[in-house]
A and B are shown apart, each in its own frame.
Chain A
Amino acid sequence: MITQRSFFPFSKRMIVPLALTLLVVLIYPLVFSFWVSLHEYSLTALEDVRFIGLQNYIGLRHNPSFWNALRNTVVFVFGAVFLETVLGFGLALLLHRPTLRFRNFFRSILLTPMFITPIAVGLMFRFLLNQQLGVLPYLLDQIGIQVDWFGPQLALFSIILIDVWQWTPFMLLLFLAGLESLPASPFEAARVDGASWFFTLRKVTLPLMKPVILVALIIRGLDAFKVFEYIYAITRGGPGDSTETILYYIYKVAFRFFRMGEAAAMAYVLIALTLFLVFILYRIMSADEGA
Chain B
Amino acid sequence: MNRSRHFRETLVNGGLNLILVIALIIVLFPYFWIFLTSLKPVDLVARPEVWIFSPSLFNWRDVLLNSDVPRYLLNSVIVALSTVGVALVVAAPAAYSFSRFNTGGGATRFSILAAEMLPPAVLIVPLFLLMFRLALLNTHLAIIAAHLTFVTPVITWFLIGFFDEVPKDLEEQAMVDGYTRFQAFYKVVLPSVRPGLAAAAIFGFVLSWNDMFYALILSGGDSKTLPVAIAGYWTFRGIEMGKMAVAILVAIVPVLLASFFIQKYLVKGLGGGAVKY
Which residues of A line the B interface, CB within 8 A?
Answer: 10-12, 14-15, 17-22, 24-26, 29-30, 32-33, 36, 91, 94-95, 97, 99-100, 106-113, 115-120, 123-125, 127-128, 130, 132-135, 137-139, 165, 173-174, 177-178, 180-181, 211-212, 215, 219, 222-223, 225-226, 228-229, 232-233, 246-247, 250-251, 254-255, 260, 263-264, 266-268, 270-271, 274-275, 277-279, 281-282, 285-286, 289
| A18 lies within 8 A of B91 (CB) | yes
| A97 lies within 8 A of B244 (CB) | no
| B94 lies within 8 A of A118 (CB) | no
| A255 lies within 8 A of B217 (CB) | yes
| A267 lies within 8 A of B209 (CB) | no
Q: Which residues of A contact B113 (CB under 8 A)?
A: 278, 281-282
Q: Which residues of A contact B127 (CB under 8 A)?
A: 29
Contact of A264 among B94, B126, B145 (CB under 8 A): B126
Q: Which residues of A contact B230 (CB under 8 A)?
A: 117, 119-120, 123
Contact of A127 among B129, B244, B263, B267 (CB under 8 A): B244
Q: Which residues of A contact B46 (CB under 8 A)?
A: 132-133
Contact of A128 among B30, B114, B119, B233 (CB under 8 A): B30
Of chain A, the residue at the smallest CB distance from B37 is A127
B198 sits at the interface (CB 8 A): no
In the assembly, what is the distance between CA of A112 and CA of B244, in Å? 20
B176 sits at the interface (CB 8 A): no
Given A112-B27, A130-B236, the answer on whether A278 and B125 have CB atoms closer than 8 Å is no
| A120 lies within 8 A of B248 (CB) | yes
- Among B86, B182, B213, B275, residue most surrounded by chain A Cβ atoms (within 10 Å): B275
Q: Which residues of B contact A127 (CB under 8 A)?
A: 34, 37, 241, 244-245
Q: Which residues of A contact B117 (CB under 8 A)?
A: 219, 222-223, 274, 277-278
Query: What is the count of residue pairs linking A and B with beta-carbon distances less than 8 angstroms?
Result: 258
| A123 lies within 8 A of B233 (CB) | yes
Kindly identify, within residues 223 to 246 of chain B, every residue whose CB is under 8 Å from any CB belonging to chain A.
226-227, 230-231, 233-234, 236, 238, 241, 244-245
| B125 lies within 8 A of A11 (CB) | no
In the assembly, what is the distance between CA of A119 and CA of B122, in Å? 20
| A119 lies within 8 A of B255 (CB) | no
Of B54-62, B66-74, B98-106, the segment with at least 4 beta carbons within 8 Å of chain A is B98-106
Q: Which residues of A contact B245 (CB under 8 A)?
A: 127
Contact of B259 among A33, A115, A125 (CB under 8 A): A115
Beyond A14-B103, A115-B258, 11 additional contacts (C-beta under 8 Å) are A12-B97, A17-B93, A29-B127, A109-B27, A110-B23, A117-B230, A119-B231, A212-B275, A247-B121, A247-B213, A268-B122
Kindly identify, within residues 67 to 97 of chain B, every residue whose CB is under 8 Å from any CB belonging to chain A.
86, 89-91, 93-94, 96-97
| A266 lies within 8 A of B121 (CB) | yes
| B49 lies within 8 A of A229 (CB) | no
Contact of A36 among B129, B156, B259 (CB under 8 A): B129
Q: Which residues of A contact B34 (CB under 8 A)?
A: 124, 127
Of chain B, the residue at the smallest CB distance from A273 is B119
- Among B46, B48, B114, B128, residue most surrounded by chain A Cβ atoms (within 10 Å): B48
> Which 5 pairs across A and B sit closest by C-beta, in order of nearness?
A18-B94, A11-B101, A29-B126, A14-B97, A117-B210
Cβ distance B19 to chain A, nearest Cβ, rounded Å:
6
In the assembly, what is the distance between CA of A11 and CA of B124, in Å? 32
| A285 lies within 8 A of B274 (CB) | yes
| B251 lies within 8 A of A117 (CB) | yes
Cβ distance A217 to chain B, nearest Cβ, rounded Å:
13
